[in-house]
Structures are given as structure tokens and as C-alpha cells.
Amino acid sequence: MRRLRKDRFRPLVRETEIDVKDLICPVFVDETIKVPVKISSMPGCFSFPIDMIADEAGCIADLGIPALILFGVPGEKDETGSHAFGDNDVIQEAVRAIKSETGNDIIIMTDLCLCEYTSHGHCGIVDFETHEILNDPTLDILGKTAVSHARAGADIIAPSGMMDGMVKAIRSGLDDNGFSNTPIMSYAAKYSSAFYGPFREAAKSGFSFGDRASYQMDPANGNEAMREVALDIEEGADIIMVKPAMPYLDIIYRVKKKFKMPTAAYQVSGEYAMIKAAAQNGWIDERKAMMESLISIKRAGADMILTYFAKDAAKILNE
Ligand SMILES: [Zn+2]
């Protein structure tokens, strides 16, 4: 087996390649700030004010990264997340700013959920007596929000709230409002994961009670992920996602093998932070660990990877 492992032969027999075109760059836009703010738990990542978001998108496009995904932090939060869907709210303003600056140079995906917009930090409407997250009342708001994103110019809508029936509600909302050509990338198999911790600082979306285990998936379950993905495809999802990535490589593999759909994997904030922190301590080689993590996700079957390493990895891949 060692004959072909010489440096000269390795490229010839390499089975998996990662390309800059596989990357999707998450971007945080925050209505409450005036200058870029460092996200301390995600070294190298920043939140941007609305008026600087187009420049950031331009930098990402210049690296050859084909898509970004926007997360918004609104100026005001309330119980129903009503600042998720106004035409002049943070995401809608940011999308318009990016579109007018970059045109079709980059695909604008918008994360669609209520947790950044609700005062309690949950992904849906809450019954405060029972502390239950109400599924169906949330769907109307998700549909309305998707339409507002599309109207602002979003290219792909990416619902992440794990409400049952969300893809169907969003699909019919889009279709009824003249956006039948706007694709949906569904966070189909999203696990209730401890690896989301650093993101909550960035998105200012910690929750006031409980956790998200009543709607996100149990990390112990694989077959359930197949059912979740099947439902989302049936409801009209164009791209399906597994999140997080590295602790769920088996799920990525199974999903790709079974459904053969365009499949995305989200290398989440905690996965990023672990590599960064270990590298800062001199415990691992950051560059190698980053590229190895990305190739493993690709090898498992992901067609595209949402990663906070997108810009760093693009620079290496462009070398
Ligand atoms: Zn959410």
C-alpha cells in the first residue's frame, strides 16, 4: 500500500478534493453596533454593522467563495420575534445592501429562524404557562419572514428552527408571493448540540428558560435523521443540511447515500472554536487541522460546507 503514498503519486490517487466552490461563509450582521465587533469565543470572526456588510460580502466574493449565509441581530427583540419580517429590519436591509453592491457575484442565503429575534431566545412562539414552544403558530411567522427575505433579494432561504412542517409553510409562502424560483436549504437534521455554544454569543441568542431539546434532535438518534430529511424533501426542500458536521459524519454519509440530494453540512461554532483554541495553545497545527476537518466532511458526502473557516480555507485553496 505504501508505493502510492510518495508525494509525487498522492495527487494522482487522491479520492476527495476540497474546492473553494464547496464553501459557504456565515456572516453576522448586527443592527446594534457601529463598528465591527470581535466575537471573543470565535477568534478571527466579527459581527458587522449593516453599513459595512456589503464590503464584507465583497471580500468573501473576491476570494471565490460562492455563497454566504446571513445571521441577523435586531435592535429590538420581543415575544413573537416581530423584527424578523419587517421590510426594514436587519436582515432585509443587509440583503439589499449586499445585492446592490455585489449583484450576482455571490449567492445570498438567509438563515431563517426566530431565536435571534425573540426576547426568550427560542425558535418559536412560546406558551408561557406551559413553557411549550408552539409549532403551528410559528409556521405563519416563518412563511411571512421567508417572503420578506426573498422580497429583499435573498437567493436561497435557509430555515433552521426545526419546527415540523416549516419547509412546506415556507414553500407555499414563497410560491403564493411570486417567489416560486427561490430555493430552500433546510436545516433538516439539526441536533440539540453543545457545540453551538460560541454562536450564541455572536447571535446574542441565549435562551431565558430551558433549552432547545424539545425541537432539535437527540444526538443519539440516526434513523430519526433519515425521517426528518425525508419529510423535508417531501415538503419541498432543495438542499438538505446536517448540523453539526464533525460529530455527525455518519449522518452526513447516510443522508447522502440514501437521498442523493444536494447535501450541506454545517461545521458549527464549537467545532471552529476547539480547533482555534487548541492552535492558540500550540497544541495542534491550525492550518492542517482546519483542512483535515473540511476534507473529512467532504469525504463523508457533503457537497457544500458552511464553515467559519471559509475565508481562511479559501486563501489556502487559492494559493
Ligand atoms: Zn433558532
pLDDT tens, residue by residue, 252-271: 999 999 999 999 999 999 99
Active site residue 144: no
Average pLDDT of 86-95? Answer: 97
Residues with CB under 5 A from ligand 1 (ion): 113, 115, 123, 161
281 CA distance to ligand 1 centroid (A)? Answer: 32
The CA distances from residue 273 to 186, 193, 223, in Å, are 24, 14, 29
21 CA distance to ligand 1 centroid (A)? Answer: 27
Q: How confident is the model at residue 151 (pLDDT cuts 50, 70, 90)?
A: very high
Which of 105-114, 196-205, 290-299 has the weakest average pLDDT? 196-205
- The active-site residue out of 77, 99, 243, 298 is 243
- Give the model's pLDDT for residue 221: 98
161 CA distance to ligand 1 centroid (A)? Answer: 5
Residue written as grid cell 408561557: 128
- Give the model's pLDDT for residue 202: 77
- Give the model's pLDDT for residue 201: 78
H helix intervals, 78-134 = 90-102
pLDDT digits (tens, 9 = 90+) for 159-179: 999 999 999 999 999 999 999
- The active-site residue out of 77, 168, 190, 276 is 190
Residue written as grid cell 431565536: 115
Residue type, 309: F
Average pLDDT of 38-49? Answer: 95
What's the burial of 52, exposed, middle or buried (CB within 10 Å: 0-12/13-18/19+)? middle
Q: Collapse the DSSP code of 218 into the 3-class scheme (helix H, G, I; strand E, B; otherwise coil) and give the result.
A: coil
Q: Collapse the DSSP code of 54 into the 3-class scheme (helix H, G, I; strand E, B; otherwise coil) and give the result.
A: helix
Q: Are 293 and 267 in contact (CB under 8 A)?
A: yes
Active site residue 243: yes
144 CA distance to ligand 1 centroid (A)? Answer: 16
Q: How confident is the model at residue 232 (pLDDT cuts 50, 70, 90)?
A: very high
Dihedral sign from CA coordinates of 197, 201, 207, 212: negative
Which cell numbers in the block locate residue 229? 430529511
- Give the model's pLDDT for residue 204: 76
- Give the model's pLDDT for residue 117: 95
